[in-house]
Structure 1
Amino acid sequence: MISCVSLSRGRAPVRRSHLACLPLALASAFGGLAHAQEAPTLGETVVTANRTPQALSEIVGDVSIIDRQTIERSGATGVADLLARQPGIEITRNGGIGNDTSVFIRGAETRFTAVYIDGVRVDSQSTGGAVWAGIPLAQIDRIEVLRGPAAAVYGSDAIGGVIQLFTKRGEEGVSPYVGVGIGSYNLRKLEAGLSGKSGAFDYSFGVAHEESKGFNIQPASKRWVPIDNWASPDRDGYRSNSGNVKLGYQIAPDQRIEATLLSNDIVAGYDPTINFAKTKLPFLFKDDLSSNTLRTASLAWSAKWNEIYSTRVQVTDSRSTYETDPAYYRTETHLRGYLFQNEFRFGPHLVTAALERREDGLVNPPDTLTAKLLARDRSQDALSLGYGFVQGPHSLQLHVRHDKDSEFGGKSTGSAAYGYAITPTLRATASAGTAFRVPTLFQRFSANGTPSLKPEFGRNVEVGLQYTEGATRAGIVVYRNRVENQITFDRSASGCSAAPGCYASTALARYQGITLSGGHRIGDITLRASFDVQDPKDLGTGNLLQRRARRHGVIGADWRVAGWTLGAEIQASSRRLDTDSLKNIVKLGGYTLLNLSASKQITRDLNLIARVDNVGNKDYEYARLYATAGRTAYVGLKWTPQ
């Protein structure tokens, strides 16, 4: 297996034979394929697929669950880095932690994933999609990933999938914790928290601080002009301070009220991709800094009135800002949501009905280039209906939703999914659905905006086969998603007077592929893997979509021995395209990375976690001109009194 890993630090693309090791390893190492780092139990409750708690065995969808233990053992610093180890997910980043990051589910645009933290919608009305750099992994206790469109449940944006992140909920007793960690690039981590439950009241508090000196994300070898005196040669580190509060009170045996707050401030160094040889700017960007802030809040009341009928009312608020200095730019997004959800359960039937309102606001203060204030808002009102049926070998899920946008009028979406248990261990699924996303306020009304943009609209079909027997799980999903009116940044758009171009609803994209994933346990060894073959393509140009690979995958093994859990993991991706324009297409080399980990419960209350990532010190790029971290090491200790 180790022979599949390139240990050289060159820029040559990884050969196909390297990536081919992944499917071969899947076939030779184990016969099972499953849907998570640690395979979830079929009785585990998830809420993401249909916005209501259901057992995983009842879900007709491609779902992954990442629990707190998996998060801690991963040693990951960013949420995106953790997600990149899941089936069907790729990421890109312009440099290190804290810089611009994108997450692609099944190759779909990062704005095509609806993201929630404790039920609070997180999105940017500037670029579109969640600002992943601003989400603090240290405060997250559990993650649920749904691959495939879910606009009939969640409304605008869920063309590619949905990611729900949850903070910790207090349990019986009192549970404090303190964690410290150090790593490469002078990484320092410190976290502490307290959770518990007393009578009808439960609580959870957490704070964390992270900082790193980082590395130069644009070394001279990656610049247009390979000299050091035209751009900042400094190390581009980051500093993050985050915290969260979750309070719950059981008003009555069947009524609960819950409030959540989450905050994160992260400041990161960056280098602008500006060719100073072709500009007349009178200054150099020294010590450039970007700042992301995120604030989320929610208040929810849930009640179960009888064995049949239950309701949930939730009010949510999120604010995110992005600011740069000294080249000043600032954008502020404010989202507010109101949800009234009703559930009717009788026998094998589940009927849901929800009213929802979403309010979006964007403020871009005047900057040095446009000197133009952008302040806009809009709203969406929606009614959604759902029906679920689970009995014997049959599972059926139907959803319809109508959204009325204050700017674009009405939009209806729907989905249908069916699962059939061929045998007690083998289950087949099929689904079809439609989804949409309205343009961001920035895409329509900024200096580079186009007011006439149309909503993006997708149609998806997929089939799957899942096998579960004892410690072995296997799955295959085949999907095809076609998106019309896809918004692109057109540098030659007609009628566009802004430099360097304007947004346009001109692209027709197709996302299709196959996902294999799975896990198997042999004694004290747990194997896990996923492999994706995809074709995310712009049908107008015939090119692969920017920064997405045809093939990518992960294979790993954990071995419990002498009180230790030792892990090895291989991440691989084939080459990708990075484009500055249709005439300037650059190929980014593929890569294969080896990561090693070790964890041990040193004492009853003290746990040790250690990782070495990119053992071979591979030089690779997520984005043209931007470096990624080389070999990195991390050691952490966490004290959790029992």
Structure 2
Amino acid sequence: MKTSVSLFAAAALLQLPVAAFAQMPPRLGETVVTANRTPQPLSQLVADVSVLDRDQIERAGAVGVVDLLARLPGMEISRNGGVGNNASLFIRGAETRFTAVYIDGVRVDSQSTGGANWESIPLSQIDRIEVLRGPAAAVYGSDAIGGVIQLFTRRGEGGVSPKVGIGFGSHGLRRAEVGVSGTAGEGNVFDYSIGATHEESKGYNIQPWDKRNVTRTAQYSADGFTSPDRDGYRTDAANVKLGYQITPNQRVEATVLYNEQQAQYDTSKFVARPPTSYPNDIGYQRLRTAGLAWNAKWNAIYSTRVQVTDSVSNYETQPSYYRTETHLRGYLFQNEFRFGANLFTATLERREDDLTNPPVSLSSKLLKRDRSQDALGLGYSFVQGPHSLQLHARRDDDSEFGGKTTGSAAYGFAVTPQWRLTASVGSAFRAPTLYQRFSEYGVDSLSPETSRNAEVGLRYADGGTVAGIVAYRNRVNNLITYDSTARGCASLFGCYRNVARAEYEGITLSASQNFGDVTLRGSMDFQDPRDLDTGNLLARRAKKHASFGADWRVAGWTLGAEVQTSGFRYDDAANKRRLGGYTLLNLTASTQITPQWSLLARIDNVGDKDYTLARGYATGGRTGYIGVKWTPL
């Protein structure tokens, strides 16, 4: 651990009991599934996990998934403009492609860029989010070097429960949603949830004027001439989740989610003079996920889960044509054996990836490749008294580059009923994308990126007080980067190469405190994500960032305040272009107007702070949102 990081974090830890506390840690009685792929009480968990529930998601207003996740411990984002534009998410500083993402158990990924296309995931259809920080390849296979994020849509409960909502916000934002959920049949054996949302915004100029503007119809940025008009977006999303309880111990569930989105953006033009007019380029995103699962508990000892999943992620631009489509299929057979305090798991899994990149010019060629990975995973958990032990090992065999074995070991010890120590080590890997290997910039001999992680934690929980500290170090080898000077591929402009090494290390502090009708919560991160070969900080990641918040329930209202703060970052790997730090204040207010009608109001960036998450791209400034929802009893 670097000295500056350690000393600063130690000083902050001394202030933890009196800090104004971001995101509240999960309740200790809560059950999560992401850490080990099996339901487990949080009190027995060794991993570093955060949970966002339905109420927290709804109070976020009309923002993107990454905006909400950025308020959690250990999370940072980068985005080229506003909602709908290209976004990256860093868990503990790790690359965005190092996070394995699932929606209702369906894997979402891009075999072009690597990682999920976050801008295509509709927050409006999400009911719960679980975030696991730290490698989990021994459970999930390729990609989970930095962590795992699972998003869940709503499950029907109780009687028929329809809902209708509308909302309006800054930049011409309009939003409408409808849905119905509930149960049916004798004994409520059938449950259903159906929802749809339409959202559109006139947007704002995501590449703003600078001092070198040259005409009223075009502006000059460091990357060329761009249009000064507003860049809006439109999205339509829907989901269906159906469940049937065959017997008290057997359940089948089917889920489908669809999102179609178009977002305007400016393409820089390198010309001697700015054009007289600029048509906007438009990025089209389409995401579809589908899954069918059967859970069965055969007796007190043996349980199984069988699941088939399918997802398609499509990105296309017009009129500057580009198109890429990733199709993933997954097959899972999970077995659980419980013997008292012992749980054994055995998992067979198959993943099939398919990438299609049509030619964009006469000189380019169609890229259409596929591959598969077959895996066997074994796990063991032991929970008794103050002890929690979790062991995992997994073997993945890739049809392209061969096999990869990963493992993890984690141990927790309750020193007292309030204090708990945890420690874990684990290895992980990310297979090269099909684009990195077989495109004109690809090299088919690329090796998987690999990592080794170690972390320790200390947690305290007593009544309304919850606090924790986690220290980690994750070292990645064979890091794949694009080298413009490299040769050995079809392109004259460079190739992908396994030439870099990176290290993500840091300390995360989080806490929450209840004082009757007031809840304080917060987190602070001190990290040092570096390129080990150059010694430079990794691009677009700050060494220090934090989030603090408070909720006050008074006179039928819930009033909230959030503060997000981040230190400076560099926009480039060479650490030449500095992005300034920022501090934002967000305010929320919600109330139940009548038993059927609820109101939400939110103001983000109250101080109208001018800041950027990526060079040349503006953020939205002060924004407001107000929405009402009708949900009859």
Instruction: Tell me the amino acid that sits aligned with residue 547 of structure 2.
Output: V
What's the counterpart of residue 540 of structure 1? 533
- Name the residue aligned to 1:221: 210
- Whether 1:247 aligns to 2:242 is yes
The CA distance in 1 between the partners of 2:249 and 2:447, in whole Å, is 45
**Cα drift, residue 27 of structure 1:** 3.1
> Are the structure 2 counterparts of residues 224 and 592 from structure 1 closer, same or farther at C-alpha, using a change threshold of 3 Å?
same
Report deviation, 1:58. Answer: 1.3
> Higher relative CO (CA 8 A, sep ≥ 6), structure 1 or 2?
1
Give the equivalent residue in structure 2 for 1:145: 131
d(CA) in 2 for partners of 1:384, 1:312: 14
Q: How many angstroms does 1:283 deviate by?
A: 10
The correspondence for 1:56, drawn from 42, 47, 68, is 42
Larger displacement relative to structure 2 (361-370 or 537-546): 361-370
Local SS of the residue matching 1:170:
coil
Task: Name the residue aligned to 1:4.
Answer: none
Question: Does residue 602 of structure 1 match 2:586?
Answer: no
1:262 aligns to what?
Answer: 257
Q: Partner amino acid for 1:111?
A: R
Deviation digits for residues 457-488 of structure 1 (CA, Å, limit 9, x no counterpart): 00000000000000000000000000000011
Q: Give, in angstroms, the shift of residue 561 of structure 1.
A: 1.2
Identity rate of aligned residues, in percent? 67
CA distance in 2 between counterparts of 1:107 and 1:28 reads 23
Alpha-carbon separation, structure 1, partners of 2:474 and 2:350: 27
1:163 aligns with 2:152: no
Are 1:351 and 1:386, in contact at CA under 8 Å, matched by a contact in 2?
A: yes
Which of 594, 618, 629 is the equivalent residue of 1:627?
618
Contact 2:160/2:180 (8 A) holds in 1: yes
Residue 501 (structure 1) shift: 2.6
What is the rounded CA distance, in whole Å, between the counterparts of 1:306 and 1:521 in structure 2?
Answer: 41
Alignment counterpart, residue 119 of structure 1, candidates 90, 105, 108: 105
Per-residue deviation, residues 364-409 of structure 1 (Å, max 9, x unmatched): 0111375310000000000000000000000000000000000111
Which of 625, 629, 632 is the equivalent residue of 1:638? 629
**Helix, strand or coil at the partner of 2:210:** helix
In structure 1, the partner of 2:328 is 335
- Would you say 1:555 and 2:548 are equivalent positions? yes
The aligned residue for residue 362 of structure 1 is: 355
Matching residue's letter, 2:270: F
Change beyond 3 A, Cα 1:345–1:237: same
Residue 281 (structure 1) shift: 12
Please report how far the alpha carbon of residue 39 of structure 1 lies from its aligned counterpart in structure 2 after TM superposition.
Answer: 3.7
Deviation string 1:3-55 (CA, Å, 9 cap, x unpaired) is xxxxxxxxxxxxxxxxx99987993774697xx73442212111000001111
2:276 maps to 1:276: no
Contact 2:217 2:276 in 1 (8 A): no
Q: Tell me the amino acid that sits aligned with residue 244 of structure 2.
A: Y
Unaligned runs of 5+ in 2: 1-7, 219-224
2:482 equivalent among 489, 497, 504: 489
CA distance in 1, matches of 2:396, 2:229: 48
Contact 1:22 1:555 in 2 (8 A): no
Other-structure match for 2:221: none
Secondary structure of the 2:71 match is coil
Separation in structure 2 between the aligned mates of residue 235 and residue 245 of structure 1, nearest angstrom: 34
User: Size of the alignment, in residue pairs?
Assistant: 618
Q: Give the match's secondary structure for 2:59.
A: helix
- Structure 1 segment 315-394 matched on structure 2, within 5 A: 315-368=308-361, 370-394=363-387
Could you tell me whether the CA contact under 8 Å between 2:23 and 2:73 is conserved in 1? no
Task: State the 1:60 CA deviation.
Answer: 0.7
RMSD: 2.2
- Mapped pair 1:91 → 2:84: no
* Cα deviation digits, residues 296-330 of structure 1 (max 9, x gap): 00011111000110000000000010000110000
Question: Residues 308 and 78 from structure 1, CA distance in 2 versus in 1: closer, same or farther, beyond 3 angstroms?
Answer: same
Give the drift of 1:447: 1.4
Q: Does 1:74 align with 2:60?
A: yes
2:91 paired residue among 91, 100, 105: 105
2:562 alignment partner, SS class: strand
2:226 equivalent in structure 1: 231
Q: Does the CA-based 8 Å contact 1:185-1:212 persist in structure 2?
A: yes
Q: 2:51 matched to which residue of 1?
A: 65
Counterpart AA for 1:79? V
Tell me the equivalent position of 1:173.
159
How far is 1:491 from its partner? 1.5
TM-score normalised by the chain length of structure 2: 0.94
Shift, 1:232, TM fit = 1.9
Deviations, residues 544-577 of structure 1 (Å, cap 9, x unaligned): 1110000011011111111111111110110101
The alpha-carbon distance between structure 1 residues 526 and 22, as it changes in their structure 2 partners (threshold 3 A), is: farther
Alignment of 1:348-497 (within 5 A): 348-368=341-361, 370-495=363-488
Once the 2 structures are TM-superposed, how far is the Cα of residue 436 of structure 1 from its aligned partner?
Answer: 0.2
* TM-score, reference length from structure 1: 0.93
Residues 285 and 418 (structure 1 numbering): CA distance in 2 closer, same or farther, change over 3 Å? farther
Task: Report if aligned partners of 1:488, 1:503 keep a CA contact under 8 Å in 2.
Answer: yes
Contact 2:23 / 2:547 at 8 angstroms: preserved in 1? no
AA matched with 1:301: W
Which residue does the alignment assign to 2:29? 43
Secondary structure of the structure 1 residue equivalent to 2:594: coil
Change (3 A) 1:26 1:267: farther
Structure 1 alignment gaps of length 5 or more: 1-19
Separation in structure 1 between the aligned mates of residue 211 and residue 466 of structure 2, nearest angstrom: 43
User: How far, CA to CA, are the matches of 2:606 and 2:336 in structure 1?
Assistant: 50
How far did 1:437 drift?
A: 0.5
Per-residue CA shift, 1:128-165, capped at 9, x if unaligned?
00000100000000000000000000000000000000
The counterpart of 1:293, out of the listed 286, 298, 311, is: 286
* Rounded Cα–Cα distance in structure 1 between residues aligned with 2:98 and 2:400: 20
Instruction: Identify if the C-alpha distance between structure 1 residues 131 and 533 changes in structure 2 by more than 3 Å, giving closer, same or farther.
Output: same
Aligned partner of residue 540 in structure 2, secondary structure:
coil
CA distance in 2, matches of 1:473, 1:314: 36
1:269-293 deviation line (CA, Å, top 9, x unaligned): 0113x35147x99997521100100
- Residue identity in the other structure for 1:483: V
Which AA in structure 2 matches 1:406?
S
**Are the aligned partners of 1:22 and 1:531 in contact in 2 as well (CA < 8 Å)?**
no
The DSSP-based 3-state class of the residue aligned with 1:443 is helix
Q: In the aligned structure 2, how far is the partner of 1:608 from the partner of 1:249?
A: 34
Q: CA deviation at 1:108?
A: 0.2
Counterpart Cα distance in 1 of 2:527 and 2:409:
23
- Distance in 2 separating the partners of 1:38 and 1:572: 17
Deviation at 1:201, TM superposition (A): 0.6
Distance (whole Å) between structure 2 residues aligned to residue 150 and residue 424 of structure 1: 28
Q: Is the 8 A contact 1:32 1:473 kept in 2?
A: no
Deviation at 1:225, TM superposition (A): 8.0
Structure 1: which amino acid aligns with 2:342?
H
Q: 2: CA distance between counterparts of 1:28 and 1:73?
A: 26
Other structure's SS at 1:585 match = coil
Contact 2:372–2:398 (CA under 8 A) maintained in structure 1: yes
